[in-house]
Amino acid sequence: QKQQHEKQQQQPSNKTFCPKKSKQLVGTIQTYLDPVNISTVESKYPEVRKGGNFRPKECTARERLAVIIPCRNRTQHLHILLNNLLRLLIKQRLDFTIFVIDQDLPTTFNRGMLFNVGYLEALKRGSYDCFIFHDVDMIPTNDKCLYRCTHNPRHFLSGVSKWKYRLPYKSYFGGVVSFTRDQYRKINGDSNLYFGWGGEDDDLRARILHKGYSLLRYPQSIGRYDTISHQRDSGNKANPARFKLVKSAKARQDLEGLNTARYTVTSSVTRRLYTKIQVYINMTE
Ligand code: UD2
């Protein structure tokens, strides 16, 4: 499997690097938040290859990007996100693959563990340099919001429509975040212990700062996102243990995370616009 991905990924040597900021970028872009059929989205992006893989033809991309999207019971949102996001990624002339990580029911949702799974499984399939962890309901509204990695982890959101284009609190680190392969490994990824809603994003932030990184965030005009409104999901109740867990984030950092993620891949499918990895997470392990 990896060989096949690698073959697709071999870079031609006689091309110049793609520009850091493509000339095609205009700033504010229209968002499309209405439900859409996947076949409509597929026909819009014939240049995306099976598995959700794209590479510019005229230049060599500066890095290989894996976009990791946790998604359970949110297929409609996934189609809306792809309908918006693919256009932006292609315009930015990025070499990318879309990975959708789904968690088997009926276990309680664990967003942090799904990020670890996404990172580990993507690296089994290709040599990715940059990882963007992307909630399925966050839609970028500015194409100058570059989906790239930098010397420090980045929070992409500066304002979200559901919070009147503000953030719920200053240190919020949820929604869309980026890490280089090394950065995510050095912080030992996400915690695996947060089952249910809340806390894992604060834990991730604590891990980043504890390892000496600073946090970057796009300015107001660039990091503006629209959200798709939705009800609270079943199987993702607020986690009452979250406050206690966040307090011990630094002490646990090296003991649990990427190095202890235990899960079973129950299926892996290459769809036209994404690679879908289904996992079972045993809550008692
Ligand atoms: C909240 C919290 C955040 C974090 C997160 C996940 C705030 C401001 N943010 O954001 O702290 O804990 O919840 O727990 O309070 N998803 C699925 N299926 C599910 C549940 C979640 O696919 O059944 C995925 C999906 O990509 C979604 C993401 O997880 O966008 C976050 O879930 P959410 O939209 O319910 O979380 P949200 O924005 O209320």
ipTM for the predicted complex: 0.92
Quick one: which of 152, 156, 153 has its CA closest to 140?
Answer: 156
CA distance 246 to 177: 19
pLDDT at 8 over 90: no
Q: Give the residue whose CA is nearest to atom 16 of ligand 1.
A: 71
Residues 207-221 have a mean pLDDT of: 97
And the tokens for 200? 């894992």
Percent of all residues in the chain with a pLDDT value above 70, rounded to a whole number: 95
Per-residue buried b or exposed e for 92-111, using 16+ beta carbons within 10 Å of the residue's own CB: bbbbbbbbbbbbeeeebbbb
H/E stretch holding 264: strand 264-270
CA of 198 to the centre of ligand 1 (A): 8
pLDDT at 7 over 70: no
3-class DSSP assignment, residue 17: strand
Q: What value does the mean pLDDT of the chain take?
A: 94
Nearest residue (by CA) to ligand 1, atom 1, is 198
Q: Looking at the predicted structure, is the pLDDT value of residue 281 above 90?
A: yes
Indicate whether 4 pLDDT > 70.
no
Ligand 1: does its nearest atom lie under 6 Å from the Cβ of 135? yes
Residue 230: what pLDDT?
A: 83
Q: Please indicate whether residue 236, judged by its CB atom, sits closer than 6 Å to ligand 1.
A: yes
Please report the beta strands in 80-201, taking only residues with DSSP state E, as ranges in sequence order.
Answer: 95-103, 130-134, 138-140, 154-155, 159-160, 176-180
Q: Is 165 in the pocket of ligand 1 (CB under 6 A)?
A: no
Tens-place pLDDT, residues 10-40:
555 668 999 999 999 999 999 999 999 999 9
Strand partners, 275: 99, 270
pLDDT score of 13: 60
- Give the N- to C-terminal CA distance of the chain in Å, as an integer: 28
Q: Quick: pLDDT tens for 61-100.
A: 999 999 999 999 999 999 999 999 999 999 999 999 999 9
Q: How far is the CA of 157 from the centre of ligand 1 (A)?
A: 14
Beta-strand runs (E) in 147-230: 154-155, 159-160, 176-180, 216-217, 224-227
CA of 232 to the centre of ligand 1 (A): 9
Any atom of ligand 1 within 6 Å of the Cβ of 73 = yes
Chain centroid to Cα 134, Å, comes to 3
Average pLDDT of 173-188?
98
Is a pLDDT exceeding 70 seen at residue 3? no
Q: What is the mean pLDDT of residues 88-117?
A: 97
From the CB of 107, is ligand 1 less than 6 Å away? no
- Assess contact for 234 and 243: CB atoms under 8 A: no
Nearest CA to ligand 1 atom 11: 198
The predicted pLDDT at position 58 comes to 95
Band of pLDDT at residue 256, cut at 50, 70 and 90:
very high
